Amino acid sequence: MVCPPVVPLRVLRSIATVATVLFVLLSIAKTQAENVLTTLRREHPRLIVLRTDEERVKKLLSSDPMAREIFQSIQREAESTLKQEPIRHRLIGPRLLDQSRRCLSRMYLLGTSYRLTGDKRFADRAIREMLTAADFPDWNPSHFLDTAEMTHALAIGYDWLYAVMTPEQRQKIREAIVEKGLKEGEKVYRKGTWWTKTPWNWNQVCNGGMTIGALAIADEEPQLAQYIVEQAVQSLPHAMANYAPDGAWAEGPGYWSYATHYTVYMLAALETALGTDFGLSNQPGFDRAGDFRIHVIGPTRRAFNFADGGDRVGSAPIMLWLAAKFHKPLYAWHELYYVGSPQSPLHLWWYFKPVGNLDKEPTTRWFRNSDVVMMRTDWSDQAIYVGFKGGDNSVNHSHLELGSFVLDGLGERWVLDLGPDDYNLPGYFGSQRWTYYRLGTEGQNTLLFDGQNQNPRAKAPVLACYDTGVRKHAVVDLTAAYNPGNETASAKDSVQRGIAILGKDWVVVQDEIMGHAGQTVQWQIHTEAKVQVRGKVAELALGGKTVKVFLLSPEKAVFQTLSANPSRPQRQNPGITRLAVQTPVPQNGMTIAVAFQFNPSAKAEAPKIVPLKEWPGQIR
């Protein structure tokens, strides 16, 4: 069958944009017409975890082994934290962010330990942390993520530990939240600084941190708190529109996690403090956000880590919140049992024991707003899995990686994405960004023409997505990526890539190139496997397993291996090999077809080359 939906992407985007604009206008009207703090819960705690949650979780600990295991892990970490030094005002590059995040983690950790045990050592240590942060000269508002996360941290500590603080401690911490956090945010909202309008993760993180801070001190500073909450509620839909129509996040899985965590923090705090999230959770696609996490994680438990993200999956307690909010227990099951190792405090507060499995979940998904496709043979650990990148090179945090892919099979990752480099490299988010190996096209599993980067503003639409169970494939139009100055796929030089999974034996990567005559095209992948090349055949060995790779076309080309290590101070890539094919493009164009064989014992013949236009399921 053709992968649903079949509504043209441009129509879906138009609908989402119109819906977002209308929602923003309605939010503005609503928040200006009434005091958003009218329903404020007056007692503490009121942020995310209420007093009733304490009783529920304590009962849970007496009956549920997994809940007890999570709690014991939290306790061990909290005990360890008691022996560590408090945070300090130390910038790394332009960022205080690692200290803000450390403080935030400790507030949830120590606050949870105190609330569930009554052991005042944990409360005292958290208060010490907050007083230390309150003494900082500032929370680095020039990089506002730092301010937002520190405001979030002290707001949680202030709210959760309100009853055990002295009046003097409350005053000092509250004043820090106001002066170093909320008033800095107020300046930003009044100026209309860029992050209040951006559709990317800064929006959620900054609005979320400000909202939680405002709700923590809303009874003492109602005018300021009301203004902050109104502005954040009006701003957040700019970013939430990116979840439409199917829950994906174009900044990649790493920033899906960051953005979605802060979206949930904000919505959860609004609900517990005010009894409403002002309809924000009803934004199109947000109820499907967990679908993206489920499909972006391969059978090796490594993510398809396009953009600035590593392939380590990490934990996502928000999957439990999303599961409860939208009545999707599969999200919770996936987090607790498929990904496993839940151990954060919010895993415990949002915990419930779901029943489920992935048997009925589709094995192929095309996420249309991001134009990425994930395909797998089944949901076992040994499945073949392909994550395939179309989309838009100009998306925030993107690399020049249109057409790139990752490949899992036999329990190993055979083709990997290198992930980001050090954010503190000169010009990483500026003029030097595309000079770095991991960010430019040279560091991707795609095509290079004459060694040049792809067009940084190019878009690569998915043309086909197809799944019959036995055969799964997707086709992406890369034409614009290799035509500088042309951001759409209308230039005379055409490049298309198709990737097909054939049964459980073969994966075919097929590129069709028209034009570009006389240029040298380089096909390449990055792999952790040991590589042996014999002309048109390469053997990859990894984890005691072997995969053979066959160059089916062009006839006169052969495989070669290349270094994957760039010049320092860029990150090196030890143990990584580039398997490549270099060949001139003839006047009449060419096809590059490479087949990965996962089941040599089947003794099947290499797949026949079929033109991409004859691959079924075309959508144009």
Give residue 505's identity as a one-letter amino acid code. Answer: D
Place of tokens 């005691």: 544
User: Is pLDDT at 527 greater than 90 in this prediction?
Assistant: yes
The alpha carbon of residue 371 and the mean position of all alpha carbons in its chain are separated, in whole angstroms, by 15
Residue 28 has pLDDT above 50, yes or no: no
Query: pLDDT class for 237, splitting at 50, 70, 90?
Result: very high
Q: Is 50 exceeded by the pLDDT of residue 555?
A: yes
Number of helical H runs and strand E runs in the chain:
16, 19
> What is the average pLDDT across 229-248?
97
Amino acid identity for residue 36 in this structure = V
Least confident of 150-154, 290-294, 597-601: 597-601
Q: What is the pLDDT of residue 8?
A: 47
* Each residue's pLDDT tens digit, 349-370: 999 999 889 999 999 999 998 9
d(CA 324, CA 419): 32
329 within 8 A of 276, measured Cβ to Cβ:
no
- What pLDDT was estimated at residue 282? 96
Domains in the chain: boundaries: 36-349, 367-614
pLDDT of amino acid 600: 81
- Residue 18 confidence (pLDDT) above 70: no
At 324-347, the pLDDT tens digits run 999 999 999 999 999 998 889 999
Span 73-101, average pLDDT = 97
C-alpha span between 212 and 202 (Å, rounded)? 15
Residue 144, pLDDT > 50, answer yes
Residues contacting 579, CB < 8 A, separation 6+: 524, 525, 527, 531, 533, 538, 540, 549, 559, 560, 561
Neighbours of 224 (CB within 10 A): 18
The average pLDDT across 144-150 equals 98
Pairwise CA distance, residues 132 & 403, whole Å: 48
DSSP for 434-502, written as a single string? GGSTTTSGGGSSSEEETTBPPPTT-EE-EEEEEE-SSEEEEEEE-GGGGSTT--STTSSSEEEEEEEEE
Q: Mean of the pLDDT values across residues 133-141?
A: 98
Residues constituting the chain: 620
On the 0-12 / 13-18 / 19+ scale of CB atoms within 10 A, 424 is exposed
Instruction: Note the pLDDT of residue 23.
Output: 57
Residue 232 confidence (pLDDT):
98
Residue 587 carries which side chain, given as an amino acid letter?
Q
Is 49 strand, coil or helix? coil
pLDDT over 70 at 116, yes or no: yes
CATH fold label, 36-349: Glycosyltransferase (1.50.10)
Question: What angle is formed at CA 204 by the lines to CA 275 and CA 107, rounded to 5 degrees?
Answer: 70
Give the per-residue pLDDT at 17. 47
% of the chain at pLDDT higher than 70: 93
Q: Where are the alpha helices (DSSP H) in 161-197?
A: 167-176, 183-191
Span 562-579, average pLDDT: 97
Lowest mean pLDDT among 22-26, 326-330, 413-417: 22-26
Answer whether 204's CB lies under 8 Å from 262's CB: yes
As a whole number of angstroms, the distance between CA 494 and CA 489 comes to 8
Beta bridge partners of 560: 580
**pLDDT at residue 10 is higher than 50:** no
The pTM assigned to this predicted structure is 0.94
What φ, ψ does residue 572 adopt, rounded to 5°?
A: -85, 165
- The pLDDT score that the predictor gives to residue 13 is 47
Mean pLDDT, rounded, of the chain:
93
Residue 616: per-residue pLDDT: 86
- pLDDT over threshold 80, residue 43: yes
Residue spans of alpha helices (H) in 241-344: 253-274, 289-296, 318-326, 329-333
Q: How does pLDDT run across 165-188, given as a tens digit for each residue? A: 999 999 999 999 999 999 999 999
Cα dist. 212→52, 216, 233, 253 in Å? Answer: 20, 6, 12, 24
- Say if CB 39 and CB 274 are below 8 A apart: yes
367-614 — its CATH code?
A: 2.70.98.70
> Which three-class secondary structure state does DSSP give residue 366?
strand
What percentage of the chain reaches a pLDDT higher than 90? 89
Q: What is the pLDDT of residue 489?
A: 59
Q: Which residue has the tokens 């059978």?
A: 299
Q: What is the mean pLDDT of residues 218-239?
A: 97
* Segment 437-488, tens digit of pLDDT: 999 999 999 999 999 999 999 999 999 999 999 999 999 999 999 998 766 6
DSSP-derived secondary structure letter, 613: G
